[in-house]
Structure 1
């Protein structure tokens, strides 16, 4: 792949992927404004997030089948168009009910875009391009949860509640244009795989139930055993177990869970779960701490996360070089160690803590996020056939998504009633975040030490240098 095409492909994936990646955190900042605009209760306005999350969870498992059936480029463009239609509909919503329906449309598009990002990288990049391209894409994934609150605060202040949906429209339009120009045309490789309907009917509600339960903990004052949490949690777990049993026997399952029988991939999946915990859990706590304890408004709370975003950006060049020299597995261990170093001081943070000290701590934490994510994603594909890459990507994405929800849920339970939270309650929640980071560090010790040059699934197809348009 030539350098211009590499940059073009990376730009197409990053720009298109940022739309759904930013969407969740940006919209969360605007929930209070939406509640006031539509005159609904706190529990009702939460459906703006929940509807999107559940739609996304139901669609993620379909990606592997869709990629095989329609091709990477066609599915990517279709997903961005669906997300674009949902974004426009959200911004123009005349009623709360219409907004919820539009959020479901957004979730369908986002559920396809997010796992497709890395799957496209692993399928089209040649070995020499894999490290750089994968890091570019992973960087967007790591930075989005940090940039989202900042961007959300800015657009909400300047454009009002409609702005939180308008902000993703230019990204979708640019993403489609870049995809038409730079995504390789793989239409000649598509086939007509059988759609696993029974597997879908098991897995989609399983994921929806698990994510609904985990995301509901903070709405019920952190009471984990509330019936609103326990029923969907148990139901989702039972359906997931039923899907695993079905998929192990099915000739062409919706998601091939048999890949988890590979030791290296299984540990990479566990590690990705805890990366999700680290990415989203602390980002849930910090803005709450700054608003509830320090008295900052949402915009300032978002701006205080900038050092973490800068740390992620600065980690990229060194992580690429060191992963190729030391091995991706070792870099994941280093990344988790930096995450631990950047999370530990948060348990001792107070309103009198110097912003400069806090900035240094969050910068170190950002370097950890920028170091850990891509090597963990890439090491999962060691020795994997290209046919299995979409299934592996779906599993990794589900692990990260459930991990993020799990981390947020655990920290919400540790915090207790956020409306009545004290500084000591936040300290307790940060100690839980430290403990979860330690578990992630231990899991990363079992990853293979393969270098980046050893990753991937063989040479890319010749269509890499073609266009989708």
Structure 2
């Protein structure tokens, strides 16, 4: 593949250019998923529909993404990874155009589904191709590069989306993706090397793909309903989570019958680092994504910020992530994932525990410092966990590992948002609607996040440590 000898202090130009091109290709879906949320009100009015209906543009996108993830594993096994990735990025750009020119709510939801499916192909390919490009000695540095769209999406997406909606119209939230794709596609064609199919002999696992897709969609939809009802004890959540678990059980039985010759072999979890990373990533998505839901609401409800002002208030967190990103990549390659995660968890707790005590009177300077500290730790948790999931795996196992990690992260992110929203709602239920009582709910949500961070110490003990570093 890329055979240039790695320089001690950096990456060869070929690897660096390919990594940045792959990351650039993933920026559009990362930004899009967060920009749309801020345009919900405008979309609701323009399409003259109900909020429940317009929410399907968001929920449908997430479900389509979840359905596409298992398909991506088979595509990587059978076809040139470069062509599949570029094709998915271009497809995302094309469907963005159609979403922007949608003529009614039905067409809009349809094109959002197609967007989500394209994004579901892009995300696993991004990680897997980067792992293949980097090789084991440079995995940390390259994963630090791929974290860029993950940082820009949640932090800058709402800000950019808010300015676009105010200055132009919601249509441009989708049209802007076209400009990103027009820049990314030629760069990817030029700099990304060809990736031979990982396993040409693999057969299309139709049952496995359909089963995992339906499992992911049912579980995520059920968890989403828990967030809507602010309770897991509702008929919709119980029904859909039950269906999802039934698909999970059927997949386990099917995988056993097929002796792990499936789209996601369960024997991957026999690898200590993959199992530890999977558990850690599920929990980390709860601890990280849960507070990302209620922090903007805190600023809007208790500091009376606009949506854009609330998004701007979160920028110190993004700055913290950017500042530490290059150093974290080097540390992963030098000493392994274990102690990078442990130190980052301690740092994250230092930046998370004060949130349990913030009020409507807390200085914004102090809040900015807290968020910056939290941000510096996020990369040190997520990047090592992601990179260590691939440690020790054969190249033929990379597509399957990518499928597994993305399913776990999608479920963790949805579960995190749902459980934090449920905790906040249940704490304030029945209380007088005062500022003090409202803050109790948010404090409880931040407390849950801190507790989950503590639990992550357990799987982190089983991550890789390079003793001869």
Fold agreement, TM-score > 0.5 = yes
The residue that corresponds to 2:244 in the other structure is 236
2:253 maps to: 245
CA distance in 2, matches of 1:6, 1:99: 38
Is 2:198–2:399's contact at 8 Å kept on the other side of the alignment?
A: no
2:367 to 358, 363, 381: 358
Conserved 8 A contact 1:131-1:452: no
Instruction: Tell me if 1:136 matches 2:149.
Output: no
CA distance in 2, matches of 1:192, 1:20: 31
Query: What's 1:211 paired with?
Result: 220
Aligned equivalents of 1:438, 1:189: Cα separation in 2: 37
Question: Which of residues 109, 123, 143 is equivalent to 2:118?
Answer: 109
Structure 2 alignment gaps of length 5 or more: 5-11
What displacement does 1:396 show? 1.0
Q: Does 1:440 align with 2:456?
A: yes
CA distance in 1, matches of 2:407, 2:143: 18
- Aligned partner of 2:446 in structure 1 is 430
Shift of 1:44: 1.2
* Aligned match of 1:317: 326
Correspondence for 2:155? 146
Distance 1:287 1:225 in 2: 26
Q: Is the 8 A contact 1:311 1:363 kept in 2?
A: yes
Query: Bigger shift: 413-422 or 289-298?
Result: 413-422
Is contact 2:316–2:372 with CA below 8 Å preserved after alignment?
A: yes
Counterpart of 1:181 (choices 190, 214, 220) is 190
Conserved? CA contact 2:21–2:187, under 8 Å: yes
Q: Distance in 2 between matches of 1:451 and 1:39?
A: 62
Please state how far the C-alpha of 1:154 moved relative to its aligned partner.
Answer: 2.0
**RMSD value over aligned CA atoms?**
2.0
The TM-score normalised by the length of structure 2 is 0.92
Tell me if 1:198 matches 2:239.
no
2:128 to 119, 122, 129: 119
Equivalences for 1:394-433 in 2 at 5 Å?
394-416=403-425, 422-433=438-449
TM, length-normalised to structure 1: 0.92
After TM superposition, list the pairs within 5 Å mapping 1:10-159 onto structure 2.
10-159=19-168
Q: Is the 8 A contact 1:85 1:105 kept in 2?
A: no
Gaps (5+ residues) in structure 1? 454-469
Q: Runs (4+) of structure 1 moved beyond 6 Å?
A: 417-421
Q: CA deviation at 1:412?
A: 0.8
Task: After TM superposition, give the deviation of residue 363 of structure 1 in Å.
Answer: 0.6
Conserved 8 A contact 1:115-1:394:
yes
Greater mean alpha carbon deviation, residues 222-231 or residues 90-99: 222-231
Aligned pair count? 452
Does residue 347 in structure 1 map to residue 356 in structure 2? yes
Contact 1:217 1:409 in 2 (8 A): yes
Distance 1:190 1:395, change over 3 A: closer
Report the more deviating stretch, 63-72 or 245-254. Answer: 245-254
Rounded to whole Å, the distance in 1 between the matches of 2:456 and 2:298 is 24
2:165 and 2:286 map into 1 onto residues whose CA distance is 27
